[in-house]
Chain A
Amino acid sequence: MNEAHPRRGQRRLAFFGRIGADISHEMRNVLSVIGEYAGLLDDLLVLAETGRPLDHARLKTLTKNLAAQVKKGTETTERFNRFSHTAEEQTASFDLIAVVEDVAALVQRHVRLEGHRLEVELPNREIRVTNNAFDLQYAVFAAVGILLKCLEKDEPVAVKVDAEGSTAALSISGRAAAGDEPGGRTSRLVAVMNELGGTVNTSWNDGTLSLVLAVPTD
């Protein structure tokens, strides 16, 4: 089963919009924190002018924190830039690990707001894939979304990637409430994975629900 063309365009646009909105929120938070640190530095300098001694250790911590926020913002914009470029090409050769790392970081806020956290475990090597990177990222996002609806309270979402032979497997799993299975919620994900020449396998083992996305490697 493949996705109808207009619906595919709509789905891709919605995904891009969702990630874009999350990143803009994230960046606004980073800028707000930088603003508060700058404001606090200014407050301390104004107080120093009135005779209050400057705490040099505090100043060092503040400048270190400022630098950390700038680094966080830079990394976020770089990830979003790479993600945006994947929407330009239908098919390209890419490192699956790098792409999964990026999309996991981009959906982190979404997962956190749902009261969970992502635990990402990636091998320390390249896995080359020639495919549609944007749709593959959508598949990861969709699988995480399906799992979030089934997870028990506070349980993490585990994301793992492995490759064997000519197939790479992305496993998205977590401890789910008994009887709470994704059922019909996977139909769109199955359609997208079909278009990517891959599969989705849903399994339930000892309280852990897993969605395994398999795609061919180069």
Chain B
Amino acid sequence: MKNRIGVYICECGSNISDYVDVEKVREAVKDLEGVALAKITMFACADSTQQEMIRDIREEKLDGLVVASCSPKLHLFTFRNVAERAGINKYNYVQANIREQGSWAHSDKPAEATEKAIRSVKAAIARTRLSEAMTSPVISSENAVLIIGAGIAGMRSALDLANTGTSVYLIDRDHFVGGRTSQWGEIFPTGESGLEVTTDLYRQVMKNENIVLRTGCGVVSKAGSVGNFDIRLKITPRGIKKEAAAADGFAERLEKAVDACPVFVSDDFDFGLTSRKALQPSGGRMPELPAVDRENCTLCGECAKICPGIEINSEEAYEDIKVGSVIVATGFDPYEPSKGEFGYGEIKNVVTLQQFRRLIETGGNRAGSGNGRRETLVYGGNEIRTIAWIFCVGSRQTGVLKGDNKYCSRYCCSSALHTALLARKNFAGIKNIHFTRGVRTYGKMETIYEESSAAGDIFLQSFDDTAPTLSFEGGVTTVKVFDVLTGDREMEVGADLVVLVTGMVPRSNEGLGEIMKIPTGRDGFFNEVHPKLKPVETMMDGIFLAGTAQGPKNITETLNGSHSAAIKAHSLISGGEIELEPTMAKIDRNLCEWCGRCLEACPFDAIDKEEYEGKKIAAVDTSACKGCGMCLPVCQENAIQLTGFSDGEIISMIDALAE
């Protein structure tokens, strides 16, 4: 039994101490039997505090450690390492969760949160007293990673991993890779087009023999756990034979086949500004092969008659893969304003930022004005000169802006100003009037704001209590706002086009979150464990996040996250082994009378029979036991204990919590 336990109660800055009276907790536990010292720390996880703990353990000859702080999901391993570094067994450390299950859950009742924290710490101390020194078993892990989403984030992570020798399955539900980035023209600050960047990444992917790329592919199911995930993929056929596409004259035949296709659908690539056929050529996207849109194809067969190699009737296929880790890089959707929100869907010259990006990319919307002058921007048959930009549509929905998206989408102020400058640069006579709620062009992107101001763009601003209003009368669209920059004067602008600066929302992902069992936050994006300490890890061991699946990011930030996710996955699985918890069933040979119920209950065939002092008893195969404990409750003789979860430990916790 441990008799010299060190107890550290963390304030977590003020995350805990704002609601839990940590001094009261310390007072309540400092004189408990087995406690040698009890301290309050501002940040238990800080390096200096860890050093202090190590010193205390050595100088005070501590034999157990309790830290009352955040969820063990966050810092269990941190403090186990502290214990190990100080020379005590890491399983003589117990963490009491007084933040997620204490101060945060009960921030409405501080006194009760303090009472709960006291009991939780007492329970942790009781468990530590009975804790045993243990050694971790090691399992083999697949040095392979599934990356879901072949946009810029997924392709970057795939290349990072593949370059270290890890096998990568890179999948995308679309038939073309590149995701959102491939939809953008010139991007800041390099001036390349988004399509150029994603095409370059795609070519690197295709050259890398460690990467298997599957397009038209989604995840159907996931089984297993970290190190050994069993994943079933569903692959929707592209509908084109690769070898046929390489034949002479294919491009001409394809063009005629596309002309013959009778199905028109709104083109998502252009955010609905244009339409396309059910048989869709790559249009410069990668892979360069065309694809049959099976959701909309009527299977009329007209295209196949003209262009051999088109297979509209091919079947969906399934593939089972085993991977050690998964990276989710499913990206974002642009916010879709509801009908009538700032005139969207009701006033015809109102578009979103993303639509406008495509508008300035699609040649069909330009009208040459000749004589060496720049082209004129045309939308809906009308020349566009004055553009009103309304910021924060679908983001920062507070005050008069109704909606659930309280977050800032980060990228849209910079993108809008950059796009407005592109419009100025590429088309004649453009005037930009920005209706902002405060411009957030952080970091290097401030230079865009500077350039925009210098170029003559006009900035008007409102706060939470007012918002721009739109009206359409006599063929003129007017935007009005009470401008705080001119002392709340009402300003009015007649606009040829209104661009709603729409932010990011979580991409629809067909139940992927449910399949992978990774949580989402209040904003609906996939949630990391901790924004600073575990910024790409999810609550599910071995599953990581990259890019805007996690929340709004610009391209640079997306790539930073992709590198991080790749490194985390690599460091977890590339060694071929993962250290697991030593939790295992243990048979009390004297109590066991062999009834066989434990054998029936065990899902891993980890129970065998052996002879012991003239009787048959159960024996645990320690290489097969996964520590689930399913054999415990079926034993009539109570002859099985689970290491780390023994009767003594559990009952001591129950008693401490009930005290």
Q: Do A and B bind each other?
A: no
